[in-house]
Amino acid sequence: MSTPIDTINKSSYVRKEEPGFLENLGVKYYHYLGKKSGTAVLRNLTIDELPADVTLQTLAGNITAFAAIIAFAIGALTTFVTIWVEWTYQETMDSTTYYLLYGIVLAVMLVIELAVLYWLGLKTVFSLACLTGHHQTLDDSGLPLHDAVPNILARAALEVPDPVIHYLGIDPRKHLSKSKLFLVAALYKAKVILSSMVVKFLLIRIAGKGEMRNAFSWVGIPVTGFWDAFTLYKVAREARLRLFGHKLAEHIVSNVLTDDIIAQLSPVAREGAIRAVATMMVLAQDYHPNLLVLLIRLCNTFEIKEHGDYDNWEYFLSVLDQVSEPERYFLLDLLSVSAAFDGQLSRMEKHHLPEAFKDLTEIYMHRIVQLKNMLVSGQLHAAKDLCTLDFRPG
């Protein structure tokens, strides 16, 4: 089942920030790659039309490894140039000239490093999109235009944070303090510098002073290389997670939630389905696109367009007590699938989920871990088999 973009109630979907320069640039390049390769005119593939899991895992692993190797090389090479300038000219130039030269070289190498990493990230996520059958770049049925597949992949590739979105008044970060958000952002921006400085500081403390101490400036070469490689690995991992989650959301709404299933759900149970996803967004404290696309598709399926305090955990627990036993199992199934959709379990999720699962906590938590691991490792077909909503426990 396809959900047209224009069916989304604009008053219910509030995005505070417009896409930034980097995101727009990434989306344009993504569209360019689609037109250049000819995939933009191909239809998107369903999960059943994709290769077997072992093939998906192997090809995705090869794409990721290739990107990580190039990232290591560019990080090591640009760092080598700055260190070579330091060793060659620090003792032979006057201070003003040397620091001017060093600053220019450092800035140029940084621009080159970031440009190559951004280009590499976009190429990597595009390759993964083609691998998972996401071909069309303009016709996306999950999210509004600025949050369609090209946008969420561009943000993953460029490590641009997802925008603050309030859908039906749901606020995933209402329990997250602004000071914590600021601290995480600041540490994220300084990660490469901090990594290199900590390693060099520890080695210098061990080695003492003199030429041995100066030699440890070369530590920055492998540190930067490994960090850039790890960064590209994380980009590929997040892109796979977003692509697979998008596929599973389409599968759930198109193939699992059949007319027969929907007919068995009371109005309270349908409301509970929205609450199941919304409360997981709050407990995860994240605007992950996988949860957002699932939420929007469910709202369109159940024709829910009005605000209703859907992110209130206590209200969701109350709904579980109001519905019939089969409907409760349906909602717990959906809750467990939603909990795994962002590829991780937060402390709040681990703390509160047993309140809903009760005697079935062990069974459902095991299912969540299984589905989460399958999503992260690239077992899309196996993950699809766990996304059942069958009115039975577990």
Distance CA 316, CA 353 (A): 11
Confidence check: pLDDT of 207 > 60: no
Other Cβ atoms less than 10 A from the Cβ of 66: the count is 16
C-alpha R_g of the chain: 24
In the chain, pLDDT over 90 holds for what percent of residues? 38
Q: For residue 298, what pLDDT band results from cuts at 50, 70 and 90?
A: confident
Per 3-state DSSP, the chain is made up of helix, strand and coil in percentages (nearest 5) of 75, 0, 25
Other Cβ atoms less than 10 A from the Cβ of 328: the count is 21
Q: What is the mean pLDDT of residues 20-45?
A: 88
The whole-number pLDDT of residue 153 equals 87
State CA 120 to chain mean position distance.
Answer: 17
Distance CA 222, CA 237 (A): 22
Spatial contact of 240 and 377, defined as CB atoms under 8 Å apart: no
Among residues 317, 320, 333, the alpha carbon closest in space to that of 391 is found at 333
Distance CA 130, CA 136 (A): 10
Distance CA 122, CA 154 (A): 7
Distance CA 372, CA 377 (A): 9
Distance CA 151, CA 125 (A): 11
Arithmetic mean of pLDDT over the chain: 83
Instruction: Specify the higher pLDDT residue, 220 or 210.
Output: 220
Confidence check: pLDDT of 223 > 50: yes
Q: Is 15 helix (H, G, I), strand (E, B) or coil?
A: strand
**Residue ranges per domain, the chain?**
5-169+218-240, 247-386
Lowest-pLDDT range of 32-46, 116-130, 161-175, 318-332 = 161-175
Q: For residue 2, what pLDDT band results from cuts at 50, 70 and 90?
A: very low
Most confident of 155-164, 169-178, 296-305, 373-382: 373-382
Q: Is 38 helix (H, G, I), strand (E, B) or coil?
A: coil
Confidence check: pLDDT of 191 > 70: no
Q: State the DSSP H helix or E strand holding residue 366, giving kind and residue range, or none if neither.
A: helix 361-377
Q: What is the mean pLDDT of residues 55-69?
A: 95
Distance CA 148, CA 36 (A): 20
Amino acid at 74: I
Distance CA 89, CA 334 (A): 63
Tokens of 29: 């390049």
Confidence check: pLDDT of 200 > 50: no
Spatial contact of 229 and 83, defined as CB atoms under 8 Å apart: no
Q: Measured between alpha carbons, how far is residue 241 from residues 285, 349, 378 in Å?
A: 17, 19, 8
Q: Measured between alpha carbons, how far is residue 208 from residues 86, 87, 204, 222 in Å?
A: 20, 19, 6, 21
Summarised one tens digit per residue, pLDDT across range 315-328 is 999 999 999 999 99
Distance CA 1, CA 386 (A): 20
Distance CA 298, CA 304 (A): 8
Among residues 83, 57, 350, the alpha carbon closest in space to that of 224 is found at 83
φ, ψ for residue 303, nearest 5 deg: 55, 45
The whole-number pLDDT of residue 366 equals 94
The whole-number pLDDT of residue 192 equals 47
Q: Measured between alpha carbons, how far is residue 303 from residues 165, 182, 296 in Å?
A: 20, 37, 10
Sign of the dihedral defined by the CA atoms of residues 301, 305, 310, 311, in that order: positive
Q: For residue 50, what pLDDT band results from cuts at 50, 70 and 90?
A: very high
The whole-number pLDDT of residue 131 equals 93
Distance CA 279, CA 267 (A): 18
The whole-number pLDDT of residue 203 equals 44
The whole-number pLDDT of residue 116 equals 94
Summarised one tens digit per residue, pLDDT across range 240-255 is 998 998 899 889 988 9
Summarised one tens digit per residue, pLDDT across range 64-110 is 999 999 999 998 999 899 888 888 888 888 888 988 998 899 889 98
Spatial contact of 248 and 378, defined as CB atoms under 8 Å apart: no
Tokens of 149: 């597949």
Summarised one tens digit per residue, pLDDT across range 137-179 is 555 555 666 778 888 888 888 878 777 777 777 777 665 555 5
Tokens of 337: 């699938």
Spatial contact of 118 and 158, defined as CB atoms under 8 Å apart: yes
List beta partners, residue 13.
Answer: 167
Q: For residue 6, what pLDDT band results from cuts at 50, 70 and 90?
A: very low
Among residues 311, 243, 324, 325, the alpha carbon closest in space to that of 277 is found at 311
Q: State the DSSP H helix or E strand holding residue 166, giving kind and residue range, or none if neither.
A: strand 165-167
